[in-house]
Structure 1
């Protein structure tokens, strides 16, 4: 895989320096880590705005603990294949893996991950004053717990396998100047968002209304799901019966297609990066996706609209309901450096580092971070709190078969709809049948 533990941070860190001074913690507070000095861990994480900010903290982690870090950084949808390959070995090369929320249940079912509760109970390893209770509860439960109701929600049977890092919920970003020019209401409902998209497409030459994900596969499913939950829809119900051809899902699909048709040029093939970039470069007047927009929207090197962006909670359709997702950090069961990996996860997600990474454009994991003055200067804290309040941990089913359903069933049928190759009703009926076939094969229906 091209990773050498001897090359350490040479290529990936360069001369990265923290953007502002902060105390280095953990050296004295966690005496059990002294035995870990000199070890090198390999961390697989995504090329993503949050992790670009986090990268700047790594030299301080090594200075504080003596543990060296090598990064295997890649586009986030490529990580799963690499992680499964390594975690399937008797001993893999990865000591820390960053997983996307939709992989967590499968990884635990396949016995790939280390349960974290026993490590937190080990006084040699547990970081003093770590304060797990300070982590935003929705993120802690949604990204870290596996085994509860439906296999992935908090409740009886749920155990901790990861810590949220780069967790996210959805938010609406919009161009205040464009809305003012056309006397448009900043959208708090889907009706207002749809009306604005039509006006902007009609009256702003070369600009679309809403930028969203639509590339075939995972991306189109993620874009569609952003609208499904607000319209009261589900992919499957509590008995695992497909609901993608039910009335709420069909309405959400109609809305999704309208946003494609009134969106920026080429939007029917956008991935996440293209969706964000279309808004940052002035090709779309709205963006309704993850909070990872916050950092790049402020960065003049990435954004042409730094002074004109407003934020609102994810608009209401039949109900207020937004995405809850993002990334979590875990330790593969076959890591040979488990203790050093656990030290890394704790240090990176501790309170001091959470403030630092957020102030540099990352995504906060802790409630207290939102009250820090350095964060309040740059972060739309009040809107973010509202977005967290309506976030829905069950906005898509995180079952073992979700990757197949998301990429090969919905990812195909929704792409056909987005590109005009199929009608909504027949395509979603086909998707429902295909989902039922997947779940039948997997044994979800007892006779």
Structure 2
């Protein structure tokens, strides 16, 4: 979810270059003082890659070899390695979708034992909704959160003021569409809104599924009846696709979190609905042209009272690692109170990987830097309901995903059809008719 592909590639090359000087090592062997870490190329991860050698390695003597990938590529790579017990990595970033499923499969080390044995770690300081999302059926933690997030609507206050428009604290999607129409200024290169259209269950369907939820739709009913082409799911998807096609950014079918972050951060969109974790980058003057000009509203709704998702990017330890002690030392540092203070002092307080520790919101420096978005972020995380995110009971946990192993493939395949609809290559009706057939195949395994 974050920075340009060129930056990600350059940083990955730099990280590999640095690791080449530090000797061999990794999950399948080598010196225990070298560990391999696979992580998504989001701003917060890029920040830790910059800080690790000077701080963690200097203090611990443990060299960290990073591999950094865009979100979709990361998901493919980490799934392939961990599911197949490849043993290439000692630590990997996974999310709230993977953690409980992979814990059940026995692919991950449980981390509760490590955390409880480390008094300085203060596990009780971690936000409960985030901890719950990363825990297994046994109640143990299987991934330690690097940052937690919900979703909200970001808007350019200057553009709104110029049009005399006031953003409600809790807007409806109908209001958002009306605002987008008024603020769309294609002649000057400003879209009314930026929304993800990039294929991927964690790309376009992260925001889109929250729209489906609040419009009254669901992927599956409680008894596993698939509802992908039901009227509510169809209405929500048509609304989303039509809004992008009418007032969204150019090239929307290839826009994910990274591209929308850049678009909105460069002042080329009036609104953006996405992850609360984006705010830190948007408020950093070194990375954003709209720093200090952004307003934050709760996730837009239609028929529900709240609609924000619940997610965490977290550090997991594959069962295949032979360097568990060193891996935990890195994980505990990367998710500690001390690291959040270090990031704030070294890089700027808006860039702290927040949304996971209560103590962060008590730091005066962070309160000052994040005053425009901290409260709404914390409230959105608390309001997110992975048990009942819509109007009807669900058969599995998840706000913006369905917590079953088959959803990654199902969501990605349907997302490809939706992206084609955004690009004008098919219709929403056809996309969801095809999606319904795929969902029926999944449902047959559970009925």
Post-superposition shift, 1:399? Answer: 0.9
Q: Work out whether residues 401 and 438 of structure 1, in 8 Å CA contact, stay in contact via their aligned partners in 2.
A: yes
Post-superposition shift, 1:202? Answer: 6.1
Q: How does 1:390-405 map to 2 (within 5 A)?
A: 390-393=383-386, 394-395=398-399, 396-405=401-410
Q: Which residue number corresponds to residue 394 of structure 2?
A: none
Post-superposition shift, 1:290? Answer: 0.5
Cα deviation, 1:83-103, whole Å, max 9, x if unaligned, reads 344435667231111113333
Q: 11, 18, 22: which one pairs with 2:18? A: 11
Post-superposition shift, 1:175? Answer: 0.7
Q: State the alpha-carbon separation in 1 of the partners of residues 218 and 86 from structure 2.
A: 39
Single out whichever of 346-355 and 364-373 deviates more from structure 2.
346-355
Q: Work out whether residues 104 and 136 of structure 2, in 8 Å CA contact, stay in contact via their aligned partners in 1.
A: no
Indicate the RMSD between aligned Cα atoms, in angstroms: 2.7
Q: Which residue number corresponds to residue 221 of structure 2?
A: 237
Q: State the alpha-carbon separation in 1 of the partners of residues 47 and 187 from structure 2.
A: 35
Q: Which residue number corresponds to residue 339 of structure 1?
A: 325
* Cα 1:91/1:256, change in 2 over 3 Å: closer
Q: Which residue number corresponds to residue 33 of structure 1?
A: none
Task: Give TM-score, length-normalised by structure 1.
Answer: 0.82
Q: How does 1:361-380 map to 2 (within 5 A)?
A: 361-364=351-354, 365-379=356-370, 380=373
- Is the counterpart of residue 62 in structure 1 residue 57 in structure 2? yes
Q: Work out whether residues 170 and 290 of structure 1, in 8 Å CA contact, stay in contact via their aligned partners in 2.
A: yes
Post-superposition shift, 1:8? Answer: 8.4
Post-superposition shift, 1:251? Answer: 2.6
* Cα 1:308/1:90, change in 2 over 3 Å: closer
Q: 418, 424, 427: which one pairs with 2:422? A: 418
Q: Which residue number corresponds to residue 25 of structure 1?
A: none
- Is the counterpart of residue 185 in structure 1 residue 166 in structure 2? yes
Q: 237, 241, 254: which one pairs with 1:257? A: 241
Q: Work out whether residues 268 and 418 of structure 1, in 8 Å CA contact, stay in contact via their aligned partners in 2.
A: yes
Post-superposition shift, 1:158? Answer: 4.2
Q: 162, 177, 180: which one pairs with 1:194? A: 177
- Is the counterpart of residue 225 in structure 1 residue 209 in structure 2? yes
Post-superposition shift, 1:308? Answer: 1.7
- Is the counterpart of residue 52 in structure 1 residue 46 in structure 2? yes
- Is the counterpart of residue 96 in structure 1 residue 81 in structure 2? no
Q: State the alpha-carbon separation in 2 of the partners of residues 427 and 80 from structure 1.
A: 23
Q: Work out whether residues 226 and 323 of structure 1, in 8 Å CA contact, stay in contact via their aligned partners in 2.
A: yes
Q: Which residue number corresponds to residue 115 of structure 1?
A: 110
SS at match of 2:48: helix
Post-superposition shift, 1:425? Answer: 3.5
* Cα 1:184/1:96, change in 2 over 3 Å: same
Q: What stretches of structure 2 of length at least 5 have no aligned partner?
A: 1-13, 22-30, 387-397
- Is the counterpart of residue 277 in structure 1 residue 268 in structure 2? no
Q: Which residue number corresponds to residue 22 of structure 1?
A: none
Single out whichever of 317-326 and 264-273 deviates more from structure 2.
264-273
Q: Which residue number corresponds to residue 286 of structure 1?
A: 271
Post-superposition shift, 1:405? Answer: 0.7
Q: 419, 427, 430: which one pairs with 2:431? A: 427
Q: State the alpha-carbon separation in 2 of the partners of residues 243 and 164 from structure 1.
A: 32
Post-superposition shift, 1:287? Answer: 0.7
Question: How many residues matched?
Answer: 400
Task: Give TM-score, length-normalised by structure 2.
Answer: 0.82
SS at match of 2:196: coil
